Amino acid sequence: MKDGRYQAQGVDAVLGYSKNGKQQIEILFEICDAGPAKGERISFTGSFSGGAAEYTLGAMRVCGWAPATPLNTCCKNKIEIEVYTETFTGRDGGEQQVQRVRIRTPRTSLQTPTDRRMTAEDGAKFLADLAGVAQPVTPSKPRQSGDDDDDLPFG
């Protein structure tokens, strides 16, 4: 499957253990988008260890799960997933690639920390400077299912 963002829906979910004996969830997704990837399947594996637990629980909720409901409710909602390829060095020292899935969780609050936000004065100056900037260029080719937004000027 080509790296990119897709509309998908869970078709199966299972709780299990990682190679290290840690609890994890695996959700199998089927791509819903029209296009060449429609019907393809790929799985997400989420960990409940350390800082990953918060992300995994959030991902499960986006998929439709709620506390005290059966695991198969993780297959209730159509959601957006991001498929990406990760490269790492294997035990044999050779380079290996594996495709991964990131569940795109909707943001319910601003993500920029307070200490990284512009002051009102800096913001007003920045916006005034933007007034002289040309409008963003639109993509020259029609976007296809699976295209990544990272190449767009204001994705």
Tell me whether strands 41-47 and 4-17 are parallel, antiparallel or unpaired.
unpaired
13 burial via Cβ count (<10 Å: 0-12, 13-18, 19+)? buried
Q: How far apart are CA 8 and CA 40, in angstroms?
A: 10
Retrieve residue 140's tokens.
Answer: 């020259």
Strand partners, 44: 27
pLDDT in tens, the chain (155 residues): 999 999 999 999 999 999 999 999 999 999 998 889 999 999 999 999 988 998 899 899 999 998 888 998 889 999 999 999 999 888 888 899 999 999 987 666 667 788 888 998 888 888 888 877 655 555 555 555 555 555 444 43
pLDDT of residue 43: 95
Q: How far apart are CA 10 and CA 64, in angstroms?
A: 9
Report which residue type is found at 76.
Answer: K
